[in-house]
């Protein structure tokens, strides 16, 4: 296991505009670290710089405590799985898996032993004599993964390896990759644009936007306490509802879109000296009014769209100029045009400085649920 450190790393192709700017992050040994962000944000470029496939314009890359800026890819002791798998079509599965070992002139007996071991781990034992064209997408992905694992490199880089798979197979392979990483104890740096992959796989995730770090942390912390409105709306499905808000001098709290008053302690807002605000709440934190005795801010909304997904119901409604969404567990008898009472608890709201994007008020009451670890059944 090795630590990877990027110290004030930047990348520019024309020496004028940075596609990656001032990246400072430490990836711990044995960590599953996920780089996530929209297309074009620079995450694959960052991965290729770590791999040695792109030059670093400024800053320092350290691998295992040693400066690696000018090391060739083969000297960095890492393996990589590409988005397109990059399998050799004329070689068998076994030959594809052991290709890197062959280049390094590892003994044939060792190659065979390692190939058999990793093939059994990934369920490829029955496919070792086949060519890539005879395999499904998921099988090819596993061959590419096997080739990376068999090298026994302490660091493994993955560039959107599941993007070509169907949804069911992606879910399965997420579990498999995480299991293998834990078993081998390797440091894994994983690039994806899929926030579900990031949330379910990463020990920590780093969100990039326009080449800059937006937030680094544990998935649940980023979900609960997004650093800025971009993170709030990028992480989560459906995304956080975010609208302009203002403080009302004559009333305690804020007004959202000049239509909804949310009572809250103003100390944090006043201390921030923010001139304009953004308020946000997660769709699942918008609660139904069932008995009328619930405590909180109750309003009636008109449903503009509804999706009943079996295990949950998602519906939309208008708040000023913006459309908000609510997500309720279970199946609800709701139709477009219905007027539905909802509960907006002030404790669940994030408040951001609209100009700087800074989170100036965190939501409250989002403690993790607990379960008894030892129970007599």
**Strand ranges in 218-311 using DSSP code E only, listed in sequence order:** 241-247, 254-256, 260-262, 277-281, 286-288, 297-308
**Which residues have C-beta within 8 Å of that of residue 28, sequence separation ≥ 6?**
3, 187
Q: Has residue 370 been placed in a domain?
A: no
**Best CA proximity match to 243, nearest among 281, 206, 271:** 281
Pairing of strands 254-256, 241-247: antiparallel
| Gap between the Cα atoms of 327 and 315, Å rounded | 7
In this predicted structure, what is the pLDDT of residue 377? Answer: 61
Same structural domain, 118 and 165: yes
DSSP 312-359: EEEEEEEETTEEEEEEEES-----TT-EEEEEE-GGG-EEEETTT--E
Q: Has residue 229 been placed in a domain?
A: no
Of 224, 253, 281, the residue at which a domain comes to its end is: 224
| Gap between the Cα atoms of 266 and 182, Å rounded | 45
> What sign for the dihedral angle of Cα 196, 202, 205, 211?
negative
Q: Has residue 367 been placed in a domain?
A: no
DSSP state of 28: P
340 close to 300: Cβ distance less than 8 angstroms: yes
Ramachandran category for residue 59: left, alpha or beta (phi over 0 → left; psi -120 to 50 → alpha): left
Task: Note the pLDDT tens digit of each residue in 32-52.
Answer: 999 999 988 999 999 999 999
How close are the terminal C-alpha atoms of the chain, in Å? 39
In this predicted structure, what is the pLDDT of residue 211? Answer: 92
- The number of distinct structural domains making up the chain is 2
Same structural domain, 160 and 296: no
Task: Note the pTM of the prediction, 2 decimals.
Answer: 0.89
**Strand ranges in 13-57 using DSSP code E only, listed in sequence order:** 18-27, 32-36
Same structural domain, 200 and 316: no
CATH code for the domain in which residue 304 is found: 2.40.50.140
**Which residues have C-beta within 8 Å of that of residue 143, sequence separation ≥ 6?**
85, 87, 93, 96, 97, 124, 127, 132, 135
In this predicted structure, what is the pLDDT of residue 249? Answer: 65
In this predicted structure, what is the pLDDT of residue 280? Answer: 95
285 close to 294: Cβ distance less than 8 angstroms: no
Task: Note the pLDDT tens digit of each residue in 100-139.
Answer: 888 888 899 998 998 998 888 888 899 999 999 999 888 8
Listed as ranges, residues in the chain with pLDDT below 70 are 249-251, 266-268, 270-274, 367-373, 375-377
Enclosing domain of residue 175: 4-224
Same structural domain, 168 and 66: yes
| Gap between the Cα atoms of 167 and 170, Å rounded | 5
Tokens of 8: 């004030």
In this predicted structure, what is the pLDDT of residue 272? Answer: 65
The dihedrals phi and psi of 306, each to the nearest 5 degrees, come to -145, 140
Same structural domain, 189 and 264: no
32 close to 181: Cβ distance less than 8 angstroms: yes
Q: Has residue 133 been placed in a domain?
A: yes
Other Cβ atoms closer than 10 A to 190:
27
């Amino acid at each position: 296991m090795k630590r990877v450190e990027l110290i004030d790393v930047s990348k520019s192709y024309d020496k004028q505009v940075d596609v990656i700017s001032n990246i400072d992050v430490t990836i711990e040994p044995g960590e599953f670290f996920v780089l996530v962000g929209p297309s074009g944000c620079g995450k694959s470029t960052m991965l290729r710089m770590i791999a040695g496939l792109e030059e670093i314009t400024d800053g320092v890359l350290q691998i295992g405590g040693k400066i690696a800026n000018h090391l060739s890819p083969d000297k960095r002791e890492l393996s990589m799985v590409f988005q397109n798998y990059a399998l050799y079509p004329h070689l068998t599965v076994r030959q594809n898996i052991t290709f890197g070992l062959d280049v390094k002139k590892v003994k044939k007996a060792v190659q065979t032993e390692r190939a058999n071991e990793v093939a059994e781990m990934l369920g490829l034992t029955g496919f070792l004599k086949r060519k890539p064209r005879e395999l499904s997408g998921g099988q090819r992905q596993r061959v590419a993964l096997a080739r990376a694992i068999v090298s026994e490199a302490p660091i493994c880089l993955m560039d959107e390896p599941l993007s070509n798979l169907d949804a069911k197979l992606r879910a399965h392979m997420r579990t498999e990759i995480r299991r293998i990483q834990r078993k081998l104890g390797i440091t894994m740096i994983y690039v994806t644009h899929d926030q579900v992959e990031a949330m379910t796989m990463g020990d920590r995730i780093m969100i990039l936007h326009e080449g800059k770090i937006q937030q680094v942390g544990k998935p649940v912390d980023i979900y609960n306490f997004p650093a800025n409105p971009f993170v709030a709306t990028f992480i989560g499905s459906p995304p956080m509802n975010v609208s302009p808000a203002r403080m009302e001098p004559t009333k305690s709290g804020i007004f959202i879109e000049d239509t909804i008053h949310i009572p809250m302690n103003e100390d944090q807002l006043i201390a921030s000296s923010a001139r304009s605000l953004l308020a946000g709440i997660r769709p699942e934190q918008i609660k139904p009014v069932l008995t009328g005795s619930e405590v909180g801010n109750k309003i009636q909304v008109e449903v503009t769209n509804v999706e009943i997904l079996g295990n949950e119901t998602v519906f939309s409604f208008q708040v000023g100029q913006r459309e908000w969404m609510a997500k309720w567990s279970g199946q609800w008898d709701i139709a477009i045009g219905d007027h539905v009472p909802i509960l907006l608890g002030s404790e669940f709201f994030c408040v951001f400085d609209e100009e700087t994007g800074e989170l100036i008020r965190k939501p409250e009451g989002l403690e993790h649920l607990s379960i008894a670890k030892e129970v007599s059944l």
